[in-house]
């Protein structure tokens, strides 16, 4: 009983997730946060388009969610201001990008400096950009994988937090490689959020 009370009092890092699509990484984060001793909670999911399937999944888990449609804004700045307003209204300390397909401006990155995390389907710094799995596959590399990293102004270039390696076997199809990498993403993204949240909670983030 004492342990349960202590866990319910545990301070947790409030987190927002930004998505554009199916949201499988988002779901892996939501599931991880359901554990009583996980140091973060998912408080908000924002999608940049109506077609993002992850929005329904977030709703099914009872997570507050909204669509802020980038097409409705003439300027990226206005779109990002709307996102920031929403995130701030939920007092989120960490923002996880999970298949979020917009490039964030220097203004947004600086506003949340050191608090935005992304997952990318390659072993960074190799194969940056939107077609990372295809590019690695076509390059016939023996190993690829996935990386989590802090978001900096330059795309896919911030400090790496975790990586997982995947062997590409001769005869693997592109689809098989995508699935193998995605399965690893679902492991390292929750591990990453746990690690960063713990550092925030212990004020050690500057030592990272
Ligand atoms: C993942 O492969 C992730 O690495 C990349 O976009 C994809 C998103 O997939 N940034 P999902 O929406 O999380 O299923």
How far, in Å, from the CA of 188 to the mean position of ligand 1? 13
pLDDT for the residue numbered 34? 98
User: Are 118 and 189 within 8 A, CB to CB?
Assistant: no
pLDDT for the residue numbered 203? 77
For residue 120, indicate whether it is catalytic: yes
Tokens of 52: 């993002």
Cα(208)–Cα(68) distance, rounded to whole angstroms?
32
pTM: 0.94
Cα(140)–Cα(167) distance, rounded to whole angstroms?
11
Residue 25 alpha carbon, nearest atom of ligand 1? 13
pLDDT for the residue numbered 4? 52
How far, in Å, from the CA of 95 to the mean position of ligand 1? 15
pLDDT digits (tens), the chain, 208 positions? 545 555 556 899 999 999 999 999 999 999 999 999 999 999 999 999 999 999 999 999 999 999 999 999 999 999 999 999 999 999 999 999 999 999 999 999 999 999 999 999 999 999 999 999 999 999 999 999 999 999 999 999 999 999 999 999 999 999 999 999 999 999 999 999 999 999 999 976 655 5
Cα(117)–Cα(196) distance, rounded to whole angstroms?
9
* Angle at which helices 24-33 and 174-201 cross, to 10°: 40
Cα(163)–Cα(182) distance, rounded to whole angstroms?
12
2-51 pLDDT tens trace? 455 555 568 999 999 999 999 999 999 999 999 999 999 999 999 999 99
Residue identifier of the C-alpha nearest atom 6 of ligand 1: 99
Residue 41 CA: distances (Å) to CA of 94, 132, 135, 170: 10, 29, 34, 41
């Amino acid at each position: 009983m004492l342990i349960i009370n202590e866990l319910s009092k545990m301070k947790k890092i409030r987190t927002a997730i930004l998505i554009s699509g199916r949201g499988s990484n988002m779901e892996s984060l939501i599931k991880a946060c359901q554990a009583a001793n996980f140091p973060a909670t998912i408080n908000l999911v924002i999608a940049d388009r109506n077609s993002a399937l992850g929005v329904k999944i977030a709703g099914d888990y009872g997570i507050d969610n909204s669509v802020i449609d980038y097409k409705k804004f003439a300027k990226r700045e206005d779109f990002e201001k709307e996102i920031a307003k929403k995130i701030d209204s939920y007092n989120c300390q960490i923002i996880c990008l999970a298949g979020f397909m917009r490039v964030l401006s220097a203004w947004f990155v600086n506003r949340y400096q050191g608090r935005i995390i992304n997952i990318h389907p390659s072993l960074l710094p190799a194969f940056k950009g939107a077609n990372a799995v295809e590019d690695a596959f076509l390059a016939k590399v023996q190993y690829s994988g996935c990386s989590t990293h802090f978001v900096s102004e330059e795309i896919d270039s911030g400090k790496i937090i975790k990586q997982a390696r995947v062997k590409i076997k001769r005869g693997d199809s592109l689809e098989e490689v995508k699935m193998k990498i995605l399965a690893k993403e679902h492991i390292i993204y929750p591990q990453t959020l746990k690690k960063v949240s713990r550092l925030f909670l212990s004020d050690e983030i500057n030592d990272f």
